[in-house]
Structure 1
Amino acid sequence: MRCNRMEMGIMVPVVDMSGYASPGGRAAIARQVARAAQDIGFFTITGHGVPAALIEDMRAVSKAFFGLPAAQKATAHRRHPDHNRGFFPYGEVALAKSTGHATPPDRKEVFSMGLQRPPEDVDPSNPDAAIHFAPNYWPEGFPRMQEVWARYFDELLALADRLMRVFALALDLPEDFFVKRIDHSPSSLAAVDYFETSHAAQEQQLRAGAHTDYGTLTILLSENKPGGLQVRTRAGEWIDVLTVPDAFVINIGDLMQRWTNDKWLSNLHRVANPPADASGNSRRLSIVFFHNANFDALIECIPSCLDDGTAKYPPILAGEHRLEKFRRANRVS
């Protein structure tokens, strides 16, 4: 493991996943991940195995989507306020509201997709469960987008499954501990366009307000452009997360913090506004895979994390937690 030295002396671990195929390699990766998950809740992975050509295709079609005329993008607009599918224009998302802070909407546009139909063991008569497997909404006249996104989704889901096996080892659990809890995961994939604008930000308005992620883990692909991801240190300072070429940034989600009784950190993070002198060079594309546990997975403290015998959180279904936070962040009117 090596580290990125950042402006304020904080280090974000970089973990090489290339040794994953061997048991010894997975154990070594798990030790590095455990340390990062406890210290800051963020780390960067290299050697992840996702083809570089697919990553570039994903970037290209996502940028092309956000460059479409507004009316064409609107053909993919989500059809229901609870659906995490389709196009979210500026004004529909305020992530800080998921943590109870009222802010103006985030300065971005979003497109999101996920699994297209519920698996047989999800009761379609349960409206909240069915919401997690809502239809995908694609823009008219841009068929290549769906094909590339589907391939990228499959690659990232497989990578997330590998990481969840590493997480189990890092917590001294059987490697397959999480498998039955994520085998019909309502995970989602999003592209975020942090567009340039000549309008000044409103008070407390950021590209993405401070929040934690709702699921198990997040896999981020971003760019080195002004106005990027920042993480809050335990001292309460905000520091920039540097982008490593050909790497993904991973962060721990709320469900892992609850499972581990706060042993692992689902850390607050945000996307800062670019400086005023960055005009013309601050448009930023982020591609984000949000991995979740099964809707009906019971999230309760792992016995090995009960250091003093007391659980800090009551048991909760994973889907209930995610839907409650999603509704806060995506109903900004």
Structure 2
Amino acid sequence: MTSSSPTPSCGARTSVTEPRIPTIDLRPWFSGDPAARAEIAAAVDQALRTAGFLLVTGHGVDPDLRAEIREAAREFFRLPSGAKEPYAVKVGGRGWLGPGAEANGYAEGTETPPDLKESLSFAAEDPTGDPAVDAEWFAPNTWPAEAPKLKALVETYLGHMRALCDRLLELLGVALGESRTFFTGHTGHPTWGFNINWYPGTGTVGPPQPGQFRIGPHTDFGTVTVLDRQAGKGGLQVFTEEGGWENAPYDPAAFTINIGDLMARWTGDRWRSGRHRVLPPPADVPAEELISLVYFYECDPGTEVRGIDSHTYLRAQLDAITAG
């Protein structure tokens, strides 16, 4: 795995100096070839020890579906604030997170201004039968009537995300040197969150304050995050000890994958919870508008991860980034 061209057996694009964030073609993994799987697992292990991030292609999710979700969500985001206000919720709720609702830097203990974004937020809603658990983690989602196409599109996408995440967790189990069910044994009835993040230009949010980002520096909280992003100057940056803050690589065919705090803890910190941020609207392209689709996968309520209750931790972190 030292060639600058794609490796035929696994599709992990590497160079003489291994990239901190490689691109992995998942198709050889899905095909079940033992040699390809071993090579992919080794590449994944190295990337998660370094940056906590990967790009994956060959995932099978239709790009047209992602584009249609963006278009349907944009109809809602561009409504006047008064039309969106009935759907307003706090972080961790199901609905609209308006301007000033969230400051992700708080999770690191950094007092930043609120993030320059709005979100439509959805989460797991299939009840477990435990009233207390269902009330906190499996409440019904809210679908804005002003975006009538959104529900069917998002529910289709969520089905793809759940399946993809379990297959990624199988890969991660092997990459860690464990069984394919090491993590998926705890995702029989998991919680998850899905945010459609809208990053408008300065004409909507105004000029950024000092230290203000579209999303402030933080690590995610759960097991794996699947991000479908758009390229932009005010886009995603990833932090590593070796390189500091760097622009994340972009491939329109790829999902960006990072692991969160629970996964890092699960591995005894062998793997790094990927620290990242989203830059503010750029001064030279102030009207830049981006929409990201962000799926946060977690685990079953009650799962203990090296001495902590997973969902006590998740709730504390969601509360920590609540602004206002």
TM above 0.5: yes
Structure 1 residue ranges (4+ consecutive) displaced by more than 6 angstroms after TM superposition: none
Residue matched to 1:269: 276
Alpha-carbon offset, residue 28 of structure 1: 3.2
Measured against aligned partners, the alpha-carbon deviations of 1:179-232 in whole angstroms (never above 9, x if no partner) come to: 221111111111101111142211211111100000001011111111011111
Instruction: Measure how far apart 1:4 and its partner are.
Output: 9.1
Q: Does 1:21 align with 2:21?
A: no
Question: How big is the shift at 1:138?
Answer: 1.6
Q: Secondary structure at the match of 1:139?
A: coil
1:187 to 2:192 alignment:
yes
CA contact (8 A) 1:72 1:139 kept: no
Cα distance between partner residues in 2 of 1:258 and 1:171: 13
2:265 to 254, 258, 262: 258
Percent identity (aligned): 34
Whether 1:47 aligns to 2:58 is: yes
Among 81, 84, 95, the residue aligned to 1:70: 81
Structure 1 counterpart of 2:196, one-letter code: A
Instruction: Answer yes or no: is the 8 Å Cα contact 1:83–1:131 preserved in 2.
Output: no
**Aligned equivalents of 1:64 and 1:72: distance in 2?**
12
Alignment of 1:26-37 (within 5 A): 26-37=37-48
The equivalent residue for 1:318 is: 310
Q: Secondary structure at the match of 1:154?
A: helix
Aligned residues: CA RMSD: 2.1
8 Å CA contact 2:107, 2:320 repeated in 1: yes
Q: Where does the alignment leave 5 or more consecutive residues of structure 2 unmatched?
A: 1-11
Shift of 1:23: 4.6
Cα distance between partner residues in 1 of 2:282 and 2:162 = 35
- Paired residues, what number? 309
Q: Can you list the C-alpha shifts for 1:28-51, whole angstroms capped at 9, x where unaligned?
A: 322221111111111100001112
- Provide structure 1 residue ranges, at least 5 long, that are not aligned to the other structure: 301-314
Q: Could you tell me whether the CA contact under 8 Å between 2:91 and 2:101 is conserved in 1?
A: no
CA contact (8 A) 1:212 1:266 kept: yes
Distance 1:102 1:279 in 2: 25
Q: By how many angstroms is 1:135 displaced?
A: 2.3
Counterpart check, 1:155 vs 2:151: no
Contact 1:83 1:134 in 2 (8 A): no
Residue 263 of structure 1 aligns with an amino acid whose one-letter code is R
Segment of structure 1 superposing worse, 170-179 or 18-27: 18-27
- Taking the aligned partners of 2:139 and 2:220, their CA distance within structure 1 comes to 20
Equivalent in the alignment of 1:297: 303
Residues 284 and 111 of structure 1: CA distance in aligned 2, closer, same or farther (over 3 Å): same
Deviations 1:240-261 (A, max 9, x none): 0122021100001111110111
The 3-state SS of whatever aligns with 2:160 is: helix
Q: Is the 8 A contact 1:217 1:253 kept in 2?
A: yes
Match of 1:240 in 2: 247
1:97 aligns with 2:89: no
The SS at the match of 1:54 is helix
Distance in 2, matches of 1:103 and 1:82, equals 16
Q: Secondary structure at the match of 1:101?
A: coil
The residue type paired with residue 165 of structure 2 is A
Deviation (angstroms), 1:169: 0.5
Tell me the residue number matched to 1:143: 148
Match of 2:161, SS state, is helix
Q: Which range is displaced more, 99-108 or 212-221? A: 99-108
Corresponding residue SS for 2:295: strand
* Contact 1:220–1:248 (Cα < 8 Å) also in 2: yes
Contact 2:76 2:146 in 1 (8 A): no
CA-CA distance at 1:70 after TM superposition: 2.4
1:11: how far off?
4.0
Q: 1:299 to 1:111 in 2, by over 3 A?
A: same
Partner Cα distance (1:260, 1:61) in 2: 38
The one-letter code of the counterpart of 1:140 is A
The answer for the alignment partner of 1:85 in structure 2 is 94
**TM-score, length basis structure 2:** 0.89
